[in-house]
Structure 1
Amino acid sequence: MPSILFEVKDQIAFITLNRPEKLNAFNREMALLFQQKLDECQHDKNVRCVYITGAGKSFCAGQDLSEVVETDGQEVNKMLREQYNPIVWKIRMMEKPVVGAINGVAAGAGANMALACDVVVATKSSYFTQAFSKIGLVPDSGGTFILPRFIGWQRASALMMLADKIPAEEAEKMGMLYKTFPDEIFVEESIKIAEKLSHMPTRSLALIKHALNFSVSNTFEQQLKIEDVFQQKAVETHDYKEGVKAFLEKRVPEYTGE
């Protein structure tokens, strides 16, 4: 079986990490294939939402340590540059909404990859852990950037140093994710979110995503200018015109993603 399962159905691209015997931990082949599938999603006009989950009872346990047990610092840095950094960058730059459907353990790079998604939902039995310090490493895959902005400096510092396991419901209360669902209805409810996003004005969602990306480093004045620029781009889309027309005609809009 391939390490990444991929299917496009009803304008949703389903990407499933598929090494369940390894808790979907990444090896190089899996990381590069994942990047390839993200690129396909970006360029396929038939894809209007991306849904990422894991096979079996785990989302992703991070890096498969058996692949790096004897590597030196240069090899680890190469791994970051060629595998993990491109993955989280592609997720954040994707001009379509990305749903992270966390169905079990999300550890290390797997946890930070999940946090990079636009809408993160999880089963109540899931948990998150910044496992890096347990083996003498530093959080990567954007974790030191994203996590403090979600939950604050002090909590992020503690979770990264102590490597605590945070149950999904606690993670939701902290602000790490959008919602949790009981395990038995998780797939149904998480796909409903992807379905809703896939029928919304895709260009608007992409501009919202980019505006949020800018907001983490902009001043208030700079962000007002970004909103001005992006709003003008949104006004020029087909879906804006359709949305206004449908509102005035008191009907449900039919968005095309253009």
Structure 2
Amino acid sequence: MAKWLQSTETLTFEVRDRIAWITFDRPEKRNALNWQGLRELRDALIEADDLTNVHCIVLGGSGRDFCSGWDLTSGESSPVKEAHSGNQQAEYRSQTATLEDDIWQLGRMNELRMVMFEMHKPVIAKVQGNCLANGTDIALLADLVIVASDARIGYPPVRAQGSPPSHMWLYHMGPQWAKRMLLTGDLLCGTDAARLGLALESVPADELDAHVEALARRIAAISPDLLACNKRVVNLGLELMGAKTLQRLASELDARGHLSAGRLKFRQSIEDLGLKEAVRRRDAAFGDGMVEYRWD
């Protein structure tokens, strides 16, 4: 039985059997992210970390997909848009468009995500369907990533728009496979993502929920204090390998990518053709976009 359940505009939060279940809940948008969703995710993660009856968190998506990326149709361009809406006389960097302003906004975005890395309790990302672009920025910060074998994982926006502003690819896959994915924007199926270390393991889609719940229950059987010791020592090791510094550098390099001719051309294509057709043309040369991976 659920101990309690609450919902926001973008997610649901349920506590059950010492596990917090945080679920993106915009299936009509394929769980595409926006600033409000990132803020609500940050708040939910902090709430779960604070609750004494929660030992472990499972992060998932409702419907077909974990998260299809950023919601380019939302019209929400600023992390502080609502806070500034009542002040018509002041000008804020979040409303302007210099390189430094872009770096500032991307830094604010990373701060919202990095709570998953910095919090004390372990987070499992349960990934089905599409986990694309900004969806990977979220999933790859989880402590454990479990994927459906037919999930599709990748960062297609590198073909025309920039670079991942959050970058855990190197730490999961090593340099060559990280480059292979980010130099093409191709996608991995869940099975290959697990083989290459981008995920811990893959299971058939119809077994994903039960498999993740069984793992979460094993983790939740341990004291949160001990879980925190073992999560944080590994993450401190990642910090010593530069992981947190790289997140900051990644957001700054993404801002540089936003000034590229390819990105400006893509933005114009969206205005001229609409988002769906612009994305179709961006990806046309890549076929189905799946990595043709061979083990033998």
Alpha carbon RMSD of aligned pairs, Å?
2.0
Deviation of the 1:196 alpha carbon: 1.1
Q: Does 1:160 align with 2:167?
A: no
Residues 211 and 94 (structure 1), Cα distance of their counterparts in 2 relative to 1, 3 Å cut: same
1:8 aligned residue: 15
Deviation of the 1:131 alpha carbon: 2.2
Question: For 1:27, which of 34, 42, 45 is the aligned residue?
Answer: 34
1:42 aligned residue: 49
Secondary structure at the counterpart of residue 47 of structure 1: coil
2:142 aligned residue: 117
Question: Amino acid of the residue matched to residue 197 of structure 1?
Answer: I
Q: Does 1:55 align with 2:69?
A: no
CA separation in 1, counterparts of 2:185 and 2:75? Answer: 20
**Is the 8 Å Cα contact of residues 101 and 122 (structure 1) preserved in structure 2?**
yes
1:248 aligned residue: none
Residues 65-80 of structure 1: matches in 2 within 5 Å? 65-67=72-74, 72=97, 76-80=102-106
1:81 aligned residue: 107
Deviation of the 1:216 alpha carbon: 2.7
Deviation of the 1:86 alpha carbon: 2.4
1:137 aligned residue: 162
Residues 186 and 97 (structure 1), Cα distance of their counterparts in 2 relative to 1, 3 Å cut: same
Residues 153 and 140 (structure 1), Cα distance of their counterparts in 2 relative to 1, 3 Å cut: same
CA separation in 1, counterparts of 2:76 and 2:117? Answer: 30
The two structures have a TM-score, normalised by structure 1, of: 0.77
Deviation of the 1:202 alpha carbon: 2.0
CA separation in 2, counterparts of 1:18 and 1:76? Answer: 28
Residues 86 and 180 (structure 1), Cα distance of their counterparts in 2 relative to 1, 3 Å cut: same
Question: For 1:202, which of 224, 245, 253 is the aligned residue?
Answer: 224
Question: Amino acid of the residue matched to residue 67 of structure 2?
Answer: C
Sequence identity (%):
25
Question: Amino acid of the residue matched to residue 21 of structure 2?
Answer: F
Residues 68 and 129 (structure 1), Cα distance of their counterparts in 2 relative to 1, 3 Å cut: farther
Secondary structure at the counterpart of residue 59 of structure 1: coil
CA separation in 2, counterparts of 1:34 and 1:120? Answer: 17
Residues 24 and 79 (structure 1), Cα distance of their counterparts in 2 relative to 1, 3 Å cut: farther
Question: Amino acid of the residue matched to residue 118 of structure 1?
Answer: D
2:275 aligned residue: none
Q: Does 1:178 align with 2:238?
A: no
Question: Amino acid of the residue matched to residue 151 of structure 2?
Answer: S
1:100 aligned residue: 125
Deviation of the 1:199 alpha carbon: 0.9
CA separation in 1, counterparts of 2:76 and 2:21? Answer: 32
* Structure 2 segments unaligned to the other structure (5+ residues): 1-7, 78-95, 242-296
CA separation in 2, counterparts of 1:19 and 1:62? Answer: 12
**Is the 8 Å Cα contact of residues 33 and 70 (structure 2) preserved in structure 1?**
yes
Residues 160 and 69 (structure 1), Cα distance of their counterparts in 2 relative to 1, 3 Å cut: farther
Q: Does 1:216 align with 2:238?
A: yes
1:126 aligned residue: 151
Stretches (4+) displaced over 3 A: 67-79
The two structures have a TM-score, normalised by structure 2, of: 0.68
The CA deviation string for residues 82-136 of structure 1, in whole angstroms up to 9 with x for no partner, is 33x1233111111111010001111112112111111110111111102231232
2:24 aligned residue: 17
Question: Amino acid of the residue matched to residue 37 of structure 1?
Answer: A
Secondary structure at the counterpart of residue 146 of structure 2: strand
CA separation in 2, counterparts of 1:164 and 1:59? Answer: 18
Secondary structure at the counterpart of residue 87 of structure 1: helix
Secondary structure at the counterpart of residue 20 of structure 2: strand
